[in-house]
Amino acid sequence: MTSTCRAAVVTGSNVGIGFEIVKNLCRQFDGDVYLTSIEKEDGEAAIKIFQDSGFSPKLHQLDVNDTGSVNALKHSLVSNNGGLDILVNNAAIMYKKDSKVPFSEQAAKTLQTNFWGVVNVCDALFPILHPHASDAEKGKAEVEGWSTHSYGISKLGVMLLTQIQQKDFDNDPRKDIIVNSCNPGWTRTQMGGPNATKSPEEGADTPTFLALLSSALDTQDPLPRGKFWEERTVQEWW
């Protein structure tokens, strides 16, 4: 039987910023919070950490590059929650500047995950978004000098995609679906490295804020949508 319980999904959330976003949503979101990981074992290890801390996120395997995996998540959300209320597109990969992998291969694999992976997830899950839903997507074209990096190219694509998606939702019969992208900042994760300036908790702040933005729809001020954010503030980048 389909539940009326609201649902939030964070892609690539068994470690790093995604892990902290899940933690924040467990504290602040009234509904099921889904932690996702490519490998089930990695997700189970993360879930154990949450359970030991008194949190109860749900686990679902997800490979954003595998349409079968993405569709399995969609069917589970429809069956168990009747749809989706919050989507955080966090999953991403990045090659280091000194990587010996040819740039053409770096670009292909990075764009496949960081851009087309987002497209795959959105194509599957946007049709089941409830009215007043929020989609937060991580995107930053230039981070600590990586402006010519394939990672930056992929994130620029996500930032542009956000604007296109919001224009589509502005004409959608479902009311007040909000899409935004953000830069979480240089964060001490497996991707960001140990010298980064932000903790994972700090890096998760703006993505969490955007994920919960739809809860502020009862305010009199119109909420920014289709925008790029840093430190909870809209940034002009175009």
Active site residues: 151
- Residue in 91, 7, 15 with CA at minimum distance from that of residue 57: 7
Q: Exposed (0-12), middle (13-18) or buried (19+): which is 104, by Cβ within 10 Å? A: exposed
Structural tokens at position 10: 């964070």
Q: Report DSSP letters for 179-234, one per residue.
A: EEEEE--SBSSTTT-TT-SB-HHHHTHHHHHHHTGGGGTTSSSPPP-S-EEETTEE
Radius of gyration of the chain (CA): 17
